[in-house]
Amino acid sequence: MPKEIKNIQKEFFYYKSLGDDTFKQLTEKQILWKAGSKSSSIGLVIKHLHGNMLSRWTDFQSSDGEKKWRNRDEEFIEPKKSKKELLKLWESGWSCLFEALEELNQEDLEKEVFIRNIGQTIRAAIDRQLCHYSYHVGQIVFIGKMIRNENWKSLSIPFGKSKAYNKDRFSKPKRTSHFTDE
């Protein structure tokens, strides 16, 4: 697999891992918690991501990314599912994405695909979805952090640890790699 596609996979995997690490910190009830009546629960965000991922990545090189069978509006109705059921949706959506990426070669990145009848290169479509998913994973992490408050376990460099982290990074020779390789 070409290096560029491997790096794309690593970027998506990184955002998936942020969600995974958030879910580990939350109970069944907390996955469905909402800050207010106009807010979304983590469960709702999972439902939306699942619907989007299946629609965008199923047969994505040969059919429009907005599938006729997708019911996007239903994705925004609070789920009546358990944490286990929601995490199955989460895994199913990501599996669909990763399987689609596995099929790509370098030349495919310049091919045209359509989302809602608008054409773009596969590379542009990937960038669009990476931004979309990172936006929603950010919501998941933020909601999880609000729920856990002082019991939140940081998913990045913890406060007060930046100097030590940078010292470790700069103590190693310059290299080319993905930031998640270590």
List, in order, residues 6 or more apart from 2 with CB less than 8 Å away: 105, 106
Q: What is the mean pLDDT of residues 72-85?
A: 95
Residue 182 clears pLDDT 80, i.e. is over it: no
What confidence tier does 43 reach under pLDDT thresholds 50, 70, 90? very high
Residue 153 DSSP symbol = P
How confident is the model at residue 45, as a pLDDT? 98
Please give the Cα distance from 43 to 36 (Å, whole number): 14
- Measured CA distances, 152 to 15, 147, 162 (Å): 18, 8, 18
Residues of the chain above pLDDT 70, percent: 100
Q: What is the mean pLDDT of residues 44-59?
A: 98
- Measured CA distances, 43 to 97, 130, 135, 140, 152 (Å): 19, 20, 15, 9, 19
Q: What is the mean pLDDT of residues 134-158?
A: 96
Q: Which domains does the chain have, with CATH numbers?
A: 3-156 (1.20.120.450)
pTM over 0.85: yes
Residue 100 clears pLDDT 80, i.e. is over it: yes
